[in-house]
A and B are shown apart, each in its own frame.
Chain A
């Protein structure tokens, strides 16, 4: 079966400076967590996968279609939803508008897609007309995630979705990520610093250290030593 995401020898960075060095992995119908400390290259990896940062070398394919250096808008049309770590909502738009701009592609009726988002994030139903810029961190993440789901993605890229969230939201959010994968059949690539929680929901894991990826492995096979090595602690 063709993997949802295939990354081969991917190097990426800013200008000619490579931050990510020849990373290889594939993602099937699963939750794939990329763990690593600050500065490991997690955001660079996801930004490159989303098509917002050009690859210096290597290749990226979604469901067998090569998308290396394809524009982000084209990747989105191929079914890639992206939730960045920071500035994940459009602050001037209301919550409803943030969700509907996510639904600009695809053919299913907006109402149907919105209902599904509200099933996953019922709290959003009561905040539809609030300005997204006035939401709390946790609410903003829900809106960002909901907006990506409005795109009917087959692959969801989540960049540290729980960064800066309170413990209450943190647990809730990991539950939601697992639910999205389970109920919608979406392949998820998730970057996290919080290894304990991420390992709780991930099927497989890759540890990223200074831009170099470890061999992907089953989440339950990850050892404390490997994490220490990866996090350089």
Chain B
């Protein structure tokens, strides 16, 4: 595959867009449907990243890639899902403020563990040695292929979120998010529904973390930054928390705008890419969240369109 036309940094920019889109879709299921205000997205993503990295680098597997990748990615997904289950259980009786602080606390614990458990994680120095689970001889081909694979995973996450809106489980999640006490009187366990959702979405966040590890080929403590959470939340709030397309539109207007359009297609001075632009990016994301919550809390795409969906599914019945 001749990829000379493609800038390597552009591949990374697109990877970031796809990755944050996946996280935004998962946050949509948590916040948009079930009203779980997860401010610790980077924690679940980071658990996956580090579980994958440690499993890949510290265990002497009797087989190589791609099986080694598949097993380690499965471990990352399971560990992140388990973390989602535990955190979900711990926050199940908390209000929105408590949930926000609890999930933020979880993300902080993950960062502390990744920093202090040097024997396992490499601590502040990090660990190198991760690689792609295939060999096409050219680095750019590896990265481009990985971008496509990650995009396919995110497409599956999108399809899952799309499907959830149309299932009894999705309706139960919306009911639990809107009025948990009333939902409990429906004969289904609201706590079980919420925990199941937390487990599935956290596991998928962990899988995206593992895929990030492959792309950057190392464990770096700096990657466990609040900017991951901020980017996913800013995109979703901008697009609309209640709509599946909210994360997609939001990411295109935030991460894609900064990490692709401005970075590659605007004539900005050299040096801005590494210093001024990342700072401006965080500031704009933060401002976008504040302004949207004040002036259009439902986001650009607005409220859920359940009546339209029901009309499509059931016609005039």
Contacts and interface: CB of A to CB of B under 8 A. Distances in A.
A104 B187 CA distance: 7
Interface residues of B, number: 28
A213 to B, nearest CB: 23
B29 to A, nearest CB: 14
Interface in B183-197: 183-190
B179 A72 contact: no
Interface stretch (A83-91, A162-170, A180-188): A83-91
A93 B186 contact: no
A87 B175 CA distance: 12
A101 to B, nearest CB: 5
Interface string B295-315: 000000001101111110010
B184 A93 contact: no
Given A50-B185, A151-B186, A92 B304 contact: yes
A155 B178 CA distance: 25
B5 interface: no
A100 B188 CA distance: 13
Contacts of B314: 96, 128-129
Question: Chain B: interface secondary structure?
Answer: helix
Chain A interface size band reads 20 to 34
Given A52-B181, A87-B182, A96-B314, A105 B188 contact: yes
Nearest to B33: A92
A87 B181 CA distance: 10
B136 interface: no
A92 B174 contact: yes
A155 to B, nearest CB: 12
Contacts of A104: 168, 172, 186-188
A104 B307 CA distance: 20
Contacts of B190: 73
Given A75-B185, A131-B307, 15 more contacts: A51-B184, A52-B184, A73-B185, A73-B189, A93-B171, A94-B309, A94-B310, A97-B174, A104-B187, A128-B314, A129-B307, A129-B311, A129-B314, A130-B307, A147-B186
Q: What are the 5 tightest A-B residue pairs by CB atom distance, in nearest-first order?
A: A105-B187, A76-B187, A72-B184, A82-B185, A129-B307
